[in-house]
Copies of this chain bind each other. A is one copy, B any other.
Amino acid sequence: MRMTPMIESFVCHFGEMGSRWGFNRTVGQIYALLVINQQPLCANDIGELLGISRGNVSMGLKELHSWQLVQTTHRPGDRKDYYQSRGSIWDMANRVFEERRKREIDPTLSLLRDILLDEAGNAEEAYAQERIAEIHDLLENITDWAQSLQSLSPEKLNTLMKLGSGVGKVLEFKDKLMTKKAD
């Protein structure tokens, strides 16, 4: 593969974007490269295309592996490992959400829970606990919800997203039905 300007700008940008999403620049660039390249690439190719050291490539691939975003393939009569992106773009987004939840939200939730179990020592701490409870509940709601959305089929998720704020109407409708039933 050659680095055309189009491909280079994508890979570069994805590197920067990556660092916002919880992995570093190199990891983002390696992944970008593998996503837009139909043929699997070996570690050497990757290092040369991105101009980074072998060690760095190895560490980056290790990271992507732990995120289950790449898979390794082999060619007959060739001992090199070849790497490919794994799953659909949807899978990728899910993985990123999941990983971030595990690394960033869960520990926070657990700390907040611990704090809420403590007895407030004074009025200030009592107030603090109220606010912390709000944050805890919000985080918990959002993550629970995100998880239940992930269990929805992609088609249903798509319907839901297409609905946009129109989902409000559907909810009203459902409310009406529930009320009738209760009569």
Distance of A175 Cα from B156 Cα, bound (Å): 11
- 30 A-B pairs (CB sep. < 8 Å): A2-B124, A4-B125, A6-B115, A6-B120, A7-B124, A7-B125, A9-B111, A10-B112, A10-B128, A21-B104, A37-B124, A38-B124, A38-B127, A89-B134, A89-B138, A93-B138, A93-B142, A141-B158, A141-B161, A144-B161, A144-B164, A145-B160, A148-B165, A149-B167, A152-B167, A156-B168, A156-B171, A159-B175, A163-B171, A173-B174
Decide yes or no: A152 and B168 within 8 Å by CB, A7-B125, A115-B6, A138-B93 being known contacts: yes
Which of B7, B104, B118, B138 has a CB less than 8 Å from the CB of A128?
B7
Nearest residue (CB) in B for A123 is: B38
Which of B2, B132, B164 has a CB less than 8 Å from the CB of A148?
B164
CB distance from A131 to the nearest CB of B (A): 5
Once the chains bind, are A6 and B125 in contact (CB under 8 Å)? yes
Once the chains bind, are A108 and B149 in contact (CB under 8 Å)? no
Decide yes or no: A131 and B7 within 8 Å by CB, A165-B148, A170-B170, A170-B171 being known contacts: no
Distance of A149 Cα from B145 Cα, bound (Å): 13
Nearest residue (CB) in B for A150 is: B165
